[in-house]
Structure 1
Amino acid sequence: MTERKQGFDTLQIHAGTAPDPTTGARQVPIYQTTAYAFRDAEHAAKLFNLEEVGYIYSRLTNPTVGALQNRIAALEGGVGAVCCSSGHAAQIMALFPLMQPGTNIVASTRLYGGTLTQFSQTFKRFGWSATFVDFDDLDAVKAAIDDNTRAIFCETIANPGGYITDLDAVSVIAKDAGIPLIVDNTTATPYLCRPFDHGATLVVHSTTKYMTGNGTVTGGCVVDSGNFDWMASDKFPSLSQPEPAYHGLCFGAALGPMAFTFHGIAIGLRDLGMTMNPQGAHYTLMGIETLSLRMQRHVENAAKVAEWLEKDDRVAAVTYAGLASSPYKERMSRICPKGAGGLFTVALKGGYDACVATVDKMELFSHVANLGDTRSLVIHPASTTHRQLSEAEQVKAGASPDVLRLSIGIEDVADIIADLDQAM
């Protein structure tokens, strides 16, 4: 009998989980434990030597976190996933097996401000570097790649401006260069876009945002497509060469499509320790059960708010890719056919001062450094999330001083518009 492929709405509830075999509990239990009893000495030795899959210590693996990993991998169409403590941790976890001192990545200029800072400043301490390029200029992306480039990095729907990356085109460049394309899919979620369908190698998430959706916990995830041949060159020795800590095991040769995922657990979580806690995983599992329903409302509300703002005399520009006037409307239909998400920026004619005054007068919108919540959220990037950048860098990132970032929630859209109207 041919196994029927389940739909997204079914997978977001059932994927990676089953009733607890001991108690029959239908919701995934919170396995609040640090360690797990071994059957005997031989069992323990096999686990530590990666000869058998199982649980050792919750810094590495935990059944609740494992259920979340399986669910996110299923939603993204990947072979495996590794959850960790935050979206920033996920970015380090994704790059850790790929990078060596002296290597670099090519990254989009349109990234979350914290990511720009992590890539441009913190990476230097590891001996890594990043070259930032406008990904609308594909020739510039190609030109930025050199013999030491180990990955290309971008966001599906860029934070803060809602810009949509042409993943189809960028993935071809990555493939021709023999390097992985890493896509931050936080603001799109797998409901709006599955980057693997467009040629991406790895996907990272801040599960803090839309995946959880309720503003309760931080978390991150790295998902592997299983489609990259780590043995094809000597660029990725962590995966293609013997690993001394495991008696010469070669992850790529021994584990094939699961090499990256197992390395993320056996090396990444073991040594970096950026572990997701089981209670946090439980909150995110519950959030994902309604992901498609929430994303539909986020998109519906965002489109209506953006259309209203675009017609308002106090507004200079709106960046929402779902608008008929957006230069990214056609791209949205290919990359994110279900909608352009719930995040975008609005430029006010009054500039910096008008933005600050508007934020201070908002009542329904929450002024917080977060996005993807059920609530409508606002922030002024130039004075907060992108404050570390120069004004020229802020403009390149879509966070110029005259813009507000709006994360449109799932409230009644008339109330969202009313709050914007009175605040402006």
Structure 2
Amino acid sequence: MSGFSTRAVHGPPPADSRREQHGDLRPPVHDTVSFAFASAREIADAFSGRKPAHSYSRITNPTVEEFERRVQALAGGRGVVALASGMAAISTVIMALGGAGSNIVAGRSLFGNTISLLAQTLRPWGLEARFVDMTDRDAVAAAIDQDTRALFLESVSNPQLEVCDLAALAELAHGRGVPLILDNTATTFYLCRAGELGADIELVSSTKYISGGGSSVGGLIIDHGRFDWSRSPRLAAFAKSFGPFALLVALRREISRNIGACLAPHNAYLQTLGLETLALRVDKSCVNAQALAEFLQGQSAVRRVVYPGLASHPDHELARRQFNGRFGGILTFELADRDSCFAFLDKLRLICRATNINDNKTLAIHPASTIFTEFSPEEREKMGVSEGMVRISAGIEDFADLRDDIAQALS
């Protein structure tokens, strides 16, 4: 099976022959905390890693494992670790690579909570975050030094919708001996083949496109097997024992295990179902976003529309090459001021006033007063988040209904 949707629907061959006992078309949900063993020797072997087995659902669970296997079949890579949220995936990876006295070079246009994690939550623990313009190769190169542990960016920044040259940044990072971490939430592994573009670690908030109808929270860490983990001081000891599997073993046996941000089995089941229709929903979302962006360009109240699918976007051609001719489901537009944005949002009848992105429903928010509210006006200005910005996450409804709702709200 080679087609994306075929693999998404059918998945890889079952890892456990017991699943075939009743001819199940869906994997079962293992809502259990612990697992019984036939002998003390068997449980000892499981805890020591001598024998692969599930011992405690905070570490591994059969339903979560099935979800991870299906993601790996679609995204590629050496292995996948599924966690409780996208932010859990980010924080777990940073803790696996960084530490006191080291630094992470990150894009200046990251999602607000990611910036808060790097700049505020982890700062007291001695980790420095260096925020740079990822479209400026010289600035990125200047920020990397002997204490840099990773280069971190998003495939499409949210909500600025900046697109960076991933292959060029991967080449730069590898030349300096550091891994490239790509948050691929906005495009997923369906549109953006992160490993093929040079990313070493791919992160995805499976809360978004993968869960589908905003049914469940989750996050993914995908190790694409490109980086020599013996070059990472934090993982060097693991690399001596486990070679190319060092990161995955460190996550399972130490970092994610000790942090405890495990994905619930029921959420893993819901997101396994979401994978089956991922391509269909992403395609429709992208089509709607493109049509909405083009429609908004013709509205007199709208000062500017930002969407990578528009020829006016500075990264339009780069996005076309990197994302397989699609441009994601998020767009922004500028109105006169905050009051104009609030008036527009309050008049919407169909489109939901709600945070989250890549739901089946179209969602709209005012980023400055919501997901960036903890930052000062000056900080928001530097991040490119204006008082007049409205963010639209296009869903899969009929375009005419979305267009008409926006038109009446702008009138």
Q: TM-score, normalised by structure 2?
A: 0.96
The residue number in structure 2 matching 1:321 is 308
In the alignment, structure 1 residue 7 sits paired with structure 2 residue 3: yes
The residue number in structure 2 matching 1:277 is 264
The residue number in structure 1 matching 2:158 is 159
- Kindly provide the CA deviation profile for residues 140-174 of structure 1, in whole angstroms up to 9, marking residues without a partner as x: 11111122110011000111132222111111111
Shift in Å, 1:282: 0.6
Instruction: Map 1:18-417 onto structure 2 (within 5 A).
Output: 18=14, 20-231=19-230, 233=231, 235-237=232-234, 239-241=235-237, 251-348=238-335, 350-417=336-403
Matches of 2:270 and 2:391, distance apart in 1: 26
Shift in Å, 1:16: 4.2
Deviation larger for 9-18 or 414-423: 9-18
Indicate conservation of the 8 Å contact 2:151/2:173, yes or no.
Answer: yes
Matches of 1:181 and 1:69, distance apart in 2: 21
Change (3 A) 1:56 1:276: same
- Kindly provide the CA deviation profile for residues 276-324 of structure 1, in whole angstroms up to 9, marking residues without a partner as x: 0000001111111000000110111110100011121111111100012
Structure 2 counterpart SS, 1:96: helix
Structure 2 counterpart SS, 1:216: coil
Amino acid at match of 2:187: A
Shift in Å, 1:17: 5.6
Indicate conservation of the 8 Å contact 1:16/1:68, yes or no.
Answer: no
Amino acid at match of 2:403: I
Matches of 2:74 and 2:109, distance apart in 1: 25
Deviation larger for 185-194 or 36-45: 36-45
Amino acid at match of 1:161: Q
Shift in Å, 1:256: 2.5
Structure 2 counterpart SS, 1:197: coil
Identity %, equivalent residues: 39
Structure 2 counterpart SS, 1:121: helix
Shift in Å, 1:379: 0.6
Indicate conservation of the 8 Å contact 2:203/2:219, yes or no.
Answer: yes
Amino acid at match of 2:208: K
Shift in Å, 1:50: 1.4
Shift in Å, 1:14: 2.5
Matches of 2:381 and 2:200, distance apart in 1: 29
Matches of 1:11 and 1:229, distance apart in 2: 29
Matches of 1:261 and 1:289, distance apart in 2: 25
Shift in Å, 1:11: 1.8
Structure 2 counterpart SS, 1:266: helix
Indicate conservation of the 8 Å contact 1:161/1:405, yes or no.
Answer: no
Matches of 1:395 and 1:200, distance apart in 2: 29
Indicate conservation of the 8 Å contact 2:91/2:117, yes or no.
Answer: no
Shift in Å, 1:332: 1.0
Change (3 A) 1:119 1:354: same
Matches of 1:210 and 1:279, distance apart in 2: 17
Amino acid at match of 1:422: Q
Matches of 1:16 and 1:273, distance apart in 2: 28
Count of equivalent residues: 407
Deviation larger for 174-183 or 386-395: 386-395
Indicate conservation of the 8 Å contact 1:366/1:376, yes or no.
Answer: yes
- Kindly provide the CA deviation profile for residues 89-129 of structure 1, in whole angstroms up to 9, marking residues without a partner as x: 00011112211211110110111111111111001132212
Structure 1 counterpart SS, 2:303: strand
Matches of 1:168 and 1:395, distance apart in 2: 29
Deviation larger for 270-279 or 33-42: 33-42
Matches of 1:21 and 1:254, distance apart in 2: 36
Amino acid at match of 1:344: L
Q: TM-score, normalised by structure 1?
A: 0.93
